[in-house]
Amino acid sequence: MRTIVTALLIGCWISLAAQKAPAHLDIVSSTVCDMCVQTIEGELIYEKGVKKVVVDLASSTVHIEYDARKNSPAGLRAALVKLGYSADGVPGDPKAFAKLPDCCQKEGCGKLPETKP
């Protein structure tokens, strides 16, 4: 009986040790308002492998914790672009941007900042 219990405990320990900590990705976006936060945090959490999404308006950065076995940085950036928001220099999808709340469209949340020559 002790052998069985010991084997089960060792099996549990090995399976816990094999689990990886979630990967972390920071995406620079053009978020400026609370609706951006609600939309991004509310939608990206449903992407495959995503564990946590936090939008920092002060730095216009989307912090994502995810399972690297189920998603990739490129896939997560593409998901953000499909929501209508920019991601690391790629502008948001124009059709999705047109569906964003009025405040986001007015502030240009999904558009890239204009560069001065």
For residue 9, tell me if it sits in a domain: no
Q: What is the CATH number of the domain that holds 27?
A: 3.30.70.100
Give the per-residue pLDDT at 81.
94
Domain extent, residue 58, equals 21-107
Q: Kindly report the number of other CB atoms within 10 A of residue 42's CB atom.
A: 11
Phi, psi values for residue 92, rounded to 5°: -65, 155
* Number of domain units in the chain: 1
Question: What is the rounded distance in angstroms from the CA atom of residue 107 to the CA atom of residue 60?
Answer: 13
Global pTM reads 0.77
**Per-position b or e across 7-24, b if 16+ CB within 10 A of its CB:** eeeeeeeeeeeeeeeebe
Residue 117 lies in a domain: no
Q: Tell me: the pLDDT tens digits for 43-80?
A: 999 999 999 999 999 999 999 999 999 999 999 999 99
Confidence at residue 2, expressed as pLDDT on a 0 to 100 scale: 72
CA distance 5 to 11: 10
Structural domain includes residue 5: no
> In the structure, what pLDDT confidence band is assigned to residue 33 with cuts at 50, 70 and 90?
confident
Question: Tell me, what's the pLDDT at 116?
Answer: 43
